[in-house]
Amino acid sequence: MTKTALVTGATDGVGRVVAKALGEDGWRVLVHGRDRQRGETLVQEVEKAGGSAAFLAADLASLGEVRRLAAEVRKTTDRLDLLINNAGIGTAGNGRQTSADGHELRFAVNYLAGFLLTYELLPLIKAAAPSRIVNVSSAGQQAIDFSDVMLTKAYSGVSAYCQSKLAQILFTVDLARELDGSGVIVNALHPSTYMNTTMVRRAGVSPMSKVETGAEAILQLAVSSRLDGKSGLYFNVMNEARANPQAYDAEARRKLRTLSLELTGVKP
């Protein structure tokens, strides 16, 4: 049976390389992005590589769009072997921005969208077990300030990005415990430092590593037998590592989960 993957943020950077690699391995790849032209070009490239593909457009700055994306996935398949939450926005930008729902933009796109999408698609992921969820996080991590999660008092793009990326890891640890025994594993990683991507260049940073390096790290968590039965872990590129200590704080994870359920309306 052909395996199906959804890769968010697949029309550019490391997500594009990962989608093509899965296609070469014979996967059916649901590629997500905002730009239809780039998405359709990627579909052709995946099919040329030997896989099959479909493009699904959605702006993850809107929780309504996230729900619509999940509905499109459900129309397309009744099982999902792999979900890669890769879409995100970096540190560049002019001051504090908010999402369509009024949440701090980086927290909304980098974290809340993946939280909601994962729960929306969990029945399909469980139906495909053994299956996997990969959360593409970062080594840039900052403890979440639960008194001002939306950074209304003191804002910086770097703080917003680093907080949102740590939130992904707290979610990973928490979800792994929830899914224990289900046959679904979930892990997070820092794919590589300052890859040659649009996000990095927009931040005014000189790239230090190749997207292919990050793709290899993501694909390890996605398909390698080395990860069979291993869940709730954080990897620094190819190696298991320790995240910011807050990721292992049960009370912090409980607070984040409570807030996330409230903001997204998810009922697990």
Catalytic site residues?
A: 161
Q: What whole-number distance in Å separates Cα of residue 113 and Cα of residue 264?
A: 9
Determine the Cα angle at 172 with ends 100 and 208, to 5°. 80
Cβ distance 182 to 125 under 8 Å?
A: no
- Burial zone of 115 (CB within 10 Å; 0-12 exposed, 13-18 middle, 19+ buried): buried
**Considering only CA atoms, which of 228, 138, 144 is closest in space to residue 191?**
138
Across the beta sheet with 234-236, the strand order is 52-57, 28-33, 4-7, 82-85, 131-136, 184-190, 234-236, 239-241
Q: What whole-number distance in Å separates Cα of residue 221 and Cα of residue 77?
A: 22
Number of C-beta neighbours around residue 37 at 10 A: 10
Number of C-beta neighbours around residue 100 at 10 A: 14
Q: What whole-number distance in Å separates Cα of residue 173 and Cα of residue 235?
A: 12
Q: What whole-number distance in Å separates Cα of residue 139 and Cα of residue 192?
A: 9
In the chain the first and final C-alpha atoms are separated, in Å, by 29
In sequence order, the 6+-apart residues with CB closer than 8 A to the CB of 78 are 124, 127
Collapsing DSSP to helix, strand or coil, 32 comes out as strand
